[in-house]
Every structure is written in C-alpha cells, then in structure tokens.
Amino acid sequence: MNRKDSKRKSRLELNCQSVNSNGVTITVKSRHSHSRRRRRMTCPSPAEINKALASVTLEQLGKSCSLEELMEKCIQSFDVDGKLWKNEDTIHMILVMHSWVVPSAEFARKLLQLYPFLSSAQNHRKMQICHFLRFWANQYPEVFRLDNELEELMGDFWEVVKDRRRSSDHRQSIDSTCISDQEITKPYPESPSFNKKRKVSLLFDHLEPSELADHLSYLEFKCFCRISHLDYRNYTLQSSLREIPRLERSVNLCNSISQWVQLMILNRPTPQQRAEVFTKFIQVTQKLRKLQNFNTLMAVIGGLCHSAISRLKETHSYLSHDVLKALSEMTELLSSSSNYSTYRRVYNECGGFKIPILGVHLKDLVSLNEALPDYLDNGKINVSKLQSLYQHILELRQLQKANPPFKANNDLILLLTPTTPIKPPEEIPDWTPVEPLQLDPDSLSHTVDQMVKCVFQFYDPHQRGFISREDFEKVVSSLPFSCHILEKDREGPVSHQEMTSYFMKASRVCSRLGLPFLQSLVEIRLREMPLCANCVRNFPSYSMCLLPSLSRVSSKYGAAYHS
C-alpha cells in the first residue's frame, strides 16, 4: 500500500468513527487502528469510502458465500457481552442486502435454526446469536415493522428464549421505535429563518431565484430523506413504483417541478415576458447548482429543455448571451452522454450536502441487478453483487444524513408542497400543512360541486357522465403543481365522483390559499380553451374571454381536445 493509499484509508477510519451510530462504520485492519486518533480529520468523499469498503469487505467474504456462511460471519463478530468487535461493515452489508436474495423472514428462520435450543451448554453461542438479532432489530427496525412474518417470528423467538433462560436479560431489544429509524424520519429542523412579521408574497414574480431554489431544495431533501434502503430494493426488484409511496413521491415531485417550470413560462403572454421567467429559472438553476441539489437541477433543466419551451424561438431570441451560456453549461453538466460522466465527475467532487440525481443512481442499481446473477455457479450467493449494490445504497444513505444549507419558509412550502395522501398515518410528513383553512364542510362541498359542474358542462356537453382523462389532465395542469400529483397514473375517463374527490383533495392542498383561488384557476382553464365552432355555439359566454396567452398554453396541453 503506498502512502497515499494508507493516508486515504486512515482518513476513512476517522470518518467512519464519526458516523458509527448511523450504521456505516468500517472496520479496518488492526495495524491501522492505533493511528486512528492521531490523524487529522479530513473528509473523504463517499466514493473513497465505498471504494475502500469494497476492498475490505470482499477480502473478508470472498466472492461468494452460502447463506449459512454469511450468518456464521455475523454471529462470530459478536462477543459474549454483545460487543461487535469486528466486521461491522460486513454485518451492515449483510443485514441490508440479504433480502435482495432471501426474504428477511427466511433469513431469520435459518438463523434461529442455528440457535442451540436443546443444548444446555453452548451459552456463548446463544449469547452471540441473541446479540446479533438484537443488533439487527435495533439498527434496522423498519424491516421488522414492515414485515409481519418476520416480526412474529422474532416475537416468538424472544418469548422462548425468555422462558428458557428465565431472565429478561435477552429481551431488552425488539422495540420498533428505535434509534436508527428515528434517525431516518427525524423531524426536519423547523424553519427558524421564517420571520413571522415579514409579509410573504406567494406570487412567483415576487420570489427571488434563491428563495425558490432554497424552497425547492427543502422539498426535495424532505422527499429524498424519506426513502429507505427497502424502497431502493423494492424498486430495483419489482421495477415499478407501485407500493413504494416514498420513492413515488420523490419522482412525482421531480416531474411536477419540470411541468411547473414549463407552465410558468407558457403562462406569460409575450415572448419577452416568457424570456424573463426563463431567465429567472436559469438563475434558480445556478443557485441549485451551488446548493449541490442535482435532482431539482435536473427537474428544472428538464422543464426548460422540454420541446414545449425549446421550440419557442422568439422567446429564446430575448434571452441574453449569459443565460444561453448558463443553459448550455447546465445541459452539458446533466447530459446523459457517456453514462452521465460529467455529472458523475462533478458530483463526486462535491463534498458536504448534496442531493444526487436519483434516477441516475437508481439506474445503476437496476443495471447491476440485471447484469449480475444472484447466485454463482457453485450455488452460493454472489456476495460481490450484493457488495456492489450496497455501495450505491450506502452512499445514498449517507447523503440523507447531511445538514442542508438552507431554510424553509412555511407559507411558501405550502404553496409548493406535494401533499399526496399516504396510507399509514405515521407516514404523514411533519411538514404537511397543519392548519387548514377552517372551511365549513357544507360550503366546501357546495363550491366543489359547482366546480365539478362547471368542468363537466364544458368538457362533457353530451352529458355522458364522464370526461376524458386528457381533459381531466388539462384541468389539473392549471392548478399549482403541488396538485398535479394527487392522482396516480390512472387510466380511462373520469367520473363526476372522481372529479369531486380530486377537487376535495386539491382544496386541502391549497387550503391556505383558499378555495376561491382554486376555483379561479379552474375557471381560467375553462376560459382559455381555444374553442371550436361547436363549442362556441354551446358556450357563447366563454368565447368572449379568450386570453391569448393561455390559449397558447392550452394548445400545448390541450392538443387532444378537439381530436
């Protein structure tokens, strides 16, 4: 090992010491450990950590192992007092990754088979197994919470152990509200910067690019932090977002931001005004780049490069040279060419807080999983595959623990927040608006009825009782982007009832802005449609209020209307 390497390794030790409680400690060869405290702290990049991690672990485990060998490795790493004295990184890797090849319940069952129930001796081994199980439950409680079979199995086990040993010694552990889980869902630091006296404008025009960037980043980071390693696994294995609400929320946020960027530009009537908004978004991207929030950067640039915007030649002619230059730099940075090599390089050079382009890293997981077999020819688990996948997951987990360099403004968050209702109550994020405008339910449902009626009158002149999905999306596209994602990818026409429930949800999202706000947006939407002769006949009043700017928007979003 040359000097540079050894330096890197020892830096690594230091770093890992510091993140020990987060479950990413790396054990290293003992000859290094004496120097640990003497080294000055310099922060290695996650890439360095992962690289070193891979080499260390692979040395210990070899390329393949049977499930039993993996378990034995874990058990042997604990001493009688419950201290994990070696292989901590390997153990974390096994605990996170085993479920990619074997369900956790099966892993646990096999593990329990190793417990020498009948033997009165072997106390040492019994203790080791218990310590290992306790470690698992404490470090990864979410696995137990989400897997009933596993939880039951473990519950039974602890009962038996307790009975046999007549001691509560072993039984202090399975507690699903443990440390590391709270770590993941820890409440986001409340926004202290929010000066209550300051009047905050919610109008896009009044917001500084840096404010927008901060708040978009706040939302992005919230979504990113909620994604657990189980979500990555589920996504990679089932290759669909179904039943992965936390990941879905993050993806939806991205897509909504992209769409919102386009809408904000297209909503302006003149090319000059559109160029101004475009410029503002370029400034937002520059701020996002500084914040190292690559995910939102991708979303905004994606919006700006969408053909709906890039085809606006006149608008582009009003853009300054600097803006065009910045755009091309950002496009270059995020280009997919050579497997995002520019992005990957820049991203790896960035230290501290950063939000990765999730899609790129998910793609790595999917590619690795697809390309490498779970089991090798000898019938053993392909440990190096698990290790490679783990590197990516570990890196993402580490990023979730960083402290964001921005603060949020509650009112603004309200305007931008996607509040997808999520099933289990504990999943309702702490940043969900807590004080909805007190609307009397009767008047709420009355107003919503009116809105639905309005929409159906317009889009369903033949009173078939439903409107097409395209028309529905047209209505939705005029709402604040936080409302866009309320509906999952459903198919087919939309009934009265669905429309009503949609508006009810949207009214909750926009509660602070008030229902009239929502109502007016829907009205604008209906007015702006470029009407054909037939429609004008049916709705002469609408034809009077055509807004040139908005009809341009709708010609983009409403192209299917008359087809």
Partner 1 sequence: MAYAYLFKYIIIGDTGVGKSCLLLQFTDKRFQPVHDLTIGVEFGARMITIDGKQIKLQIWDTAGQESFRSITRSYYRGAAGALLVYDITRRDTFNHLTTWLEDARQHSNSNMVIMLIANKSDLESRREVKKEEGEAFAREHGLIFMETSAKTASNVEEAFINTAKEIYEKIQEGVFDINNEANGIKIGPQNPMPGPTGPHNAGQAGGSCC
Q: Which residues bind partner 1 (CB under 8 A)?
A: 46-47, 50-51, 54, 235-236, 238-241, 248, 251, 254-255, 258, 298-299, 301-303, 305-307, 334-337, 339-341, 344-345, 348, 357-360, 362-368, 370-372, 385, 388, 391-392, 395, 491
Task: Return the number of the residue (435 or 491) whose C-beta is nearest partner 1.
Answer: 491
Distance of CA 92 to the CA centre of its chain: 22
Question: Which is nearest to 222 in space by CA: 153, 161, 295, 143?
Answer: 295
Task: Return the number of the residue (18 or 339) whose C-beta is nearest partner 1.
Answer: 339
The letter for the amino acid at 290 is K
Nearest distance from C-beta of residue 311 to partner 1, angstroms: 9
Nearest distance from C-beta of residue 251 to partner 1, angstroms: 5
Tokens of 272: 């000059």
Nearest distance from C-beta of residue 536 to partner 1, angstroms: 28
Nearest distance from C-beta of residue 230 to partner 1, angstroms: 17
Question: Nearest 10 degrees: CA dihedral of 522, 526, 527, 529?
Answer: 130
| Whole-Å CA distances, 76 to 57, 69, 90, 126, 360 | 15, 10, 12, 11, 37
The letter for the amino acid at 116 is P
The letter for the amino acid at 215 is H
The letter for the amino acid at 137 is A
Task: Return the number of the residue (134 or 484) whose C-beta is nearest partner 1.
Answer: 484
Task: Return the number of the residue (361 or 508) whose C-beta is nearest partner 1.
Answer: 361
Task: Return the number of the residue (16 or 362) whose C-beta is nearest partner 1.
Answer: 362
Nearest distance from C-beta of residue 365 to partner 1, angstroms: 7
Task: Return the number of the residue (180 or 255) whose C-beta is nearest partner 1.
Answer: 255
β partners of residue 84 = 78
Nearest distance from C-beta of residue 187 to partner 1, angstroms: 28
Output the 3-class SS for 37-63.
Answer: HHCCCCCCCHHHHHHHHHHHHHHHHCC
65 SS3 class:
strand
Rounded Cα distance, 242 and 145, in Å: 19
Give the start-end residues of each E strand in 6-119.
64-65
Instruction: Tell me the backbone φ, ψ of residue 476, rounded to 5 degrees.
Output: -65, -35
The letter for the amino acid at 150 is L
β partners of residue 64 = 382
Tokens of 8: 């890197």
Task: Return the number of the residue (119 or 240) whose C-beta is nearest partner 1.
Answer: 240
Nearest distance from C-beta of residue 52 to partner 1, angstroms: 11
Tokens of 270: 């003149």
For 82, residues 6+ apart whose C-beta sits below 8 A from its C-beta are 127, 131, 134, 135
Task: Return the number of the residue (345 or 453) whose C-beta is nearest partner 1.
Answer: 345
Nearest distance from C-beta of residue 302 to partner 1, angstroms: 2
